[in-house]
Amino acid sequence: MIKTISASGITFRFVPRGGVLENFTVQDQGAEITPLHRAPWAETEVPADAPPHQRWLGGDFLAAPMGPGPDGLHGRTANGDWQVVASPEGSLRAVLDGAVQGATLVKELSVTSGHPFVYQRHLFIGGNGALPVSNHAMISVPNGAKLSFSRKRWWETLAAPMEVTEGRSALAYPRRHEDAVEFPGAEGGTANLHRYPWGDAHEDFVAGVEDPGSSLGWTAVVRPEGDLILSLKNARALPLTMLWHSNGGRDYAPWNGRHKGCLGLEEGGGAAGPRPLVARGARPADRRRSTRASDAGPAGHGRGAPCAGGDPLAFGPTGRRGDAGG
């Protein structure tokens, strides 16, 4: 059963199937800010052999693993069911049906009156081994966006492009580069990672590695509609910021060239090219989005759309009218 969690000025829904945080809404100065993306297709349009989560693709969910696994792309956490358990007012706790590498997973989401953030934490209890994990938020940016980040050591693309069709990649693969403003482009030019999109009809993925001296990692997304989405995290527990540009670059079902204006803002630890980083499931991690963050093993983080004067340690949409550098 879908659950709605709310506090003064903020609300979200939790869908147990796939553990999806959706319909995240912050009220600011009489306006409603709804930053999360949802795919434009019906479930019946998704091929039977596609990962289950593509039937309800949207919002924010946990990928464990971040990538392919025995339970489908992004694992049981994205494709399976979560059971909601007793939770305090303004919060939600859910337990994943089934284990991940022997670990029981607990998801915690909460909101606070006057805070434009969802606070998010994932707990990995027990289990063994190493596992790449990530929160998988999708931000709706139909009119483009400007991005700013905490200091990164470098940015790196995958060993091969996401799509093999010529012209569907705006970035060069594989590449590692320290300057986000002039990242190597597919056609020999450069792309500015502080901007969305990087081109027309493209599908790209790049990861930034946090500076080892940073304890707080953050990403700010400013949309021309006049709002700001802020993601905060424990940079040592979740050392990667991954950007997925899905902007009409896939022509097969269910994408069919219509999945546009989607910015994946994925905070985690895991493979980001030929020299992968690994987040270990026994460590706690913090993440906040203006909505709030997730804890993995235990690990936490936040996302939000914070209004002016909002809590700086969360994830959510913010009503501040402004710009993000780059």
Task: Measure the CA–CA gap between 38 and 58, rounded to whole angstroms.
Answer: 4
Each residue's pLDDT tens digit, 136-167: 999 999 999 999 999 999 999 999 999 988 88
Evaluate whether 180 touches 192 at the Cβ level (below 8 Å).
Answer: yes
Confidence of residue 109 (pLDDT cuts 50, 70, 90): very high
Whether residue 254 is preceded by a cis peptide bond, meaning omega within 30 degrees of 0, is yes
What does the pLDDT read at residue 265?
98
Protein fold of 3-318: Beta-galactosidase; Chain A, domain 5 (2.70.98)
Evaluate whether 304 touches 169 at the Cβ level (below 8 Å).
Answer: no
Mean pLDDT of 215-242: 96
Q: Taking all residues of the chain, what is their mean pLDDT, rounded to a whole number?
A: 86
Each residue's pLDDT tens digit, 114-129: 999 999 999 999 998 8
What does the pLDDT read at residue 79?
98
311 pLDDT above the threshold of 60: no
290 pLDDT above the threshold of 70: no
Residue ranges per domain, the chain? 3-318
Each residue's pLDDT tens digit, 38-60: 999 999 999 999 999 999 999 99
Mean pLDDT of 188-216: 96
Task: Measure the CA–CA gap between 94 and 63, rounded to whole angstroms.
Answer: 15
The SS3 of residue 258 is coil
**Percentage above 90 pLDDT, the chain:** 77
